[in-house]
Structure 1
Amino acid sequence: MSAHPYSPAFEVGGFGFVSGALSIDADGVAVGGRTEAIDAAMTRLSERLATIGMTLSQIVKTTYFVTDVSLRDEANKHYEATFSEPRPARSFVEVSALPYGATVEIEAIAHGRK
């Protein structure tokens, strides 16, 4: 994968803004399967948060971009398993395509340090 002209995550004023994390493996290859793709995107999101010293538990808002809106049920189950209540706000948007052949991309806003 080539370098990109943006930060994977950026912290300012106690907020962490995380660029979209794709459903790719550590080598940049799209992960197949529905729940596997969601897991991979969340893993990449967690890695990006770590670059600014934050964790998934600090997320206050996510936006999911998916190439198939029917992934919503799997995403909801995954959200319930990943985040405790009160869970972060979330938007869920279907798009025609994502980079690298990915099927899921998750961006997030986090707040505070632990």
Structure 2
Amino acid sequence: MSAHPYSPAYAAGGFGFVSGALSVDESGTAVAGRMEALEAAVARLSERLGTVGMTLRDVIKTTYFVTDVTLRDEANSQYELLFDDPRPARSFVEVAALPYGATVEIEAIAHRRH
């Protein structure tokens, strides 16, 4: 039985649906620091995409959940580096708390480009 009752990523009809990837390290410990947390969440997102044979290049929509909406500027700078034009659509939402003490969670929808 897995640690969670859901799939980290699920592929169907050429799409990949990625469960929220938290700003934690490989052992599940929350990563401190603003950019470090964003980078950790992207690393976990990339790992999850990989489980369905996709990469960040396949992402068409993201939703960021953050415990501090002022992370938006750093996230915007990171987004410009991560994605080429046209960049994926994105929602950016502040929440009261995230699991494991994380400060960032990113979920994504990807589409296989043939």
Which TM class, normalised by the smaller chain length? Answer: over 0.9
Q: Which residue of 2 aligns with 1:101?
A: 101
- Residue type of the partner of 1:59? V
Give the Cα separation in 2 of the matches to 1:28 and 1:9.
17
Q: TM-score, normalised by structure 1?
A: 0.97
Where do 4+ consecutive residues of structure 1 move more than 3 Å?
Answer: none
Tell me the equivalent position of 2:59: 59
1:113 shift after superposition: 4.7
Runs of 5+ consecutive residues of structure 1 not aligned to the other structure: none
- What RMSD, in angstroms, separates the aligned Cα atoms of the two structures? 1.0
Preserved contact between residue 53 and residue 113 of structure 1 (Cα < 8 Å)? no
Matches of 1:112 and 1:26 in 2, distance apart? 26
- Conservation of the 8 A alpha-carbon contact between 1:61 and 1:110: yes
What's the secondary structure of 2:91's corresponding residue?
strand
Identity in percent: 74
Q: Which residue of 1 aligns with 2:79?
A: 79
Q: Aligned partners of 1:72, 1:64: CA distance in 2, in Å?
A: 9
Partner in structure 1 of residue 41 of structure 2: 41
Aligned residues: 113
SS in 2 for 1:110: strand
TM-score by length of 2: 0.97
- Inter-CA distance 113–86: structure 2 relative to 1 (3 Å threshold): closer
1:79 alignment partner AA? Y
Q: Which runs of 5+ in 2 are unaligned?
A: none
Q: For residue 92 of structure 1, what is the aligned residue in structure 2?
A: 92
Q: Distance in 2 between matches of 1:51 and 1:106?
A: 16
